[in-house]
Chains A and B, each alone.
Chain A
């Protein structure tokens, strides 16, 4: 009962938070701009010459999507709500909260809302972009965004991780990629939340370290091991050769477990001045 009440309170404070609204606005604008560029590109073009809406989607094969996945994806979810626990600790607000509810319930409820906020910050703008694409592009088309492919030639899908899904249900395929990118956003937010339990750091470290780790990881693995070990390569719908889906999911699960361990050890089971 208390847990549900805490979740409701956290969701209310998430929806009212300025940072959440600012970050959501930035994400939405980032996804609307490529749509407007596509509008300009295909203005006055015959409908049969326009690629299908699933290929115009920003996460499929688009420079704005690539820039978003490479640099902004971990920063925006971390900024939306993940630093609130750090602020509670810094301002002493946690003493007031812990005396009104069970500490473990509060920490877990906040963790769940932070995970959800990270997911929404990424998922909603990507989904909006797909909906906007329906306004200017047909559901199915004989044209592809790589150029003028004849009707009998299929899109080069051999590099895709989920090729059969793309060929049979292209919009479900895009939805799967939206969920994968959103899961990455959730992990970034959770990592930021976990870092806030490791005391003594600044707010900048709490919100920016997930992005720095993500970019350095992508950079080092791409240079030393190959692009199939960079996490951002798994988020493009168009696909990159040699990817192993299990690698991406193992990374996500490992990140989740590490964050959970930090939250449990340094948060839930940690004795603070109110719980000795």
Chain B
């Protein structure tokens, strides 16, 4: 069982390396606009911090959205059949010997979270490399730098994990093609909604807003406000963290319930 998992990790690990190419392009395109603040904090805030507020033109919003969404769409694609592949090949052997489907599901979720986090860690590493090589960027305040990097990593990884978990759970139920379509629709709709609700308090409760670090009301980001735009009042990183945690817990319960009610012998792949 353990050896099998390591083999799957390797396969998916190599797939995730594609994300490094995207990070290289994002970093390379952001560096020319960092002439006023040649620091890593600026690079990370612009590259992965989110779309600057207020959004006046929805064409510009969609253009910036492409930057944010590509990473998530690619990740969802790369990990979409992680569970369904394993379930269709191993379920007959595993679940006939041990009836603990929930444990299998929890293990898969842990693996997926590890892979999602790794995907972004690799991208951030590329961004550090690009900043150093192309623009000789430095860190102006180490405490703020780590605050920005870790907040971005957690918020982005957790939202992406929600999407990846959704596509995997749905793929067990309806086949990976419909699951991927549903997830893409969800991602696009969730991402477009903040533009429509940007002037109302509802924007704080939209899933996509949780991953936008620069929308959060944080004292540590105040010196950068001229650079990254305004924030949403009383929208804290802790509340976003809890929001995403609750979403993940709900998805886990839904997933466990679906897996427990699935027929092992009748689980031939719909794809």
Q: What is the interface of chain A, defined by CB distance below 8 A to chain B?
A: 19, 22-23, 26, 63-64, 66-67, 70-72, 75-76, 79, 83, 202-204, 207-208, 211-212, 215-216, 218-220, 222-224, 227
Give B80 Cβ to nearest chain A Cβ, in Å: 6
- Partner of A83 from the list B59, B73, B177 (CB cut-off 8 Å) is B177
A76 to B182 Cα, complex, angstroms: 11
Which residues of B lie under 8 Å from residue A63 when comparing CB positions? 58, 62, 192, 195-196
A216 to B67 Cα, complex, angstroms: 10
Give B36 Cβ to nearest chain A Cβ, in Å: 20
A22 to B185 Cα, complex, angstroms: 13
Mark B221-243 against chain A: 1 for CB-CB distance below 8 A, else 0.
00000000000000000000000
Mark B143-181 against chain A: 1 for CB-CB distance below 8 A, else 0.
000000000000000000000000000000000111011
Cross-chain contact B177 with A71 (CB below 8 angstroms): no
Cross-chain contact B77 with A212 (CB below 8 angstroms): yes
Knowing A71-B188, A202-B176 are in contact, say whether A223-B70 is a contact too (CB < 8 A): no
Which residues of B lie under 8 Å from residue A79 when comparing CB positions? 177, 181
Cross-chain contact A203 with B29 (CB below 8 angstroms): no
Cross-chain contact A219 with B66 (CB below 8 angstroms): yes
A172 to B80 Cα, complex, angstroms: 41
Find the B residue at minimum CB distance from A22.
Answer: B178
Knowing A26-B185, A66-B59, A216-B70 are in contact, say whether A203-B26 is a contact too (CB < 8 A): no
Which residues of B lie under 8 Å from residue A75 when comparing CB positions? 181, 184
A122 to B62 Cα, complex, angstroms: 20
Give B84 Cβ to nearest chain A Cβ, in Å: 9
Interface assignment of B263: CB less than 8 Å from any CB of chain A: no
Task: Determine the interface band of chain B, counting residues with CB < 8 A from chain A.
Answer: 20 to 34
Find the A residue at minimum CB distance from B182.
Answer: A26
Knowing A70-B62, A75-B184 are in contact, say whether A212-B176 is a contact too (CB < 8 A): no
Which residues of A lie under 8 Å from residue B70 when comparing CB positions? 215-216, 219
Cross-chain contact B58 with A204 (CB below 8 angstroms): no
Give A18 Cβ to nearest chain B Cβ, in Å: 10
Find the A residue at minimum CB distance from B184.
Answer: A75
Which residues of A lie under 8 Å from residue B58 when comparing CB positions? 63, 66
Give B163 Cβ to nearest chain A Cβ, in Å: 13
Find the A residue at minimum CB distance from B30.
Answer: A223
Give B94 Cβ to nearest chain A Cβ, in Å: 21
A63 to B178 Cα, complex, angstroms: 24
Knowing A75-B181, A219-B67, A222-B66 are in contact, say whether A204-B80 is a contact too (CB < 8 A): yes
Could you pull out 9 A-B pairs where Cβ atoms are within 8 angstroms? A23-B181, A70-B66, A72-B185, A202-B271, A203-B176, A203-B271, A204-B180, A211-B73, A216-B22
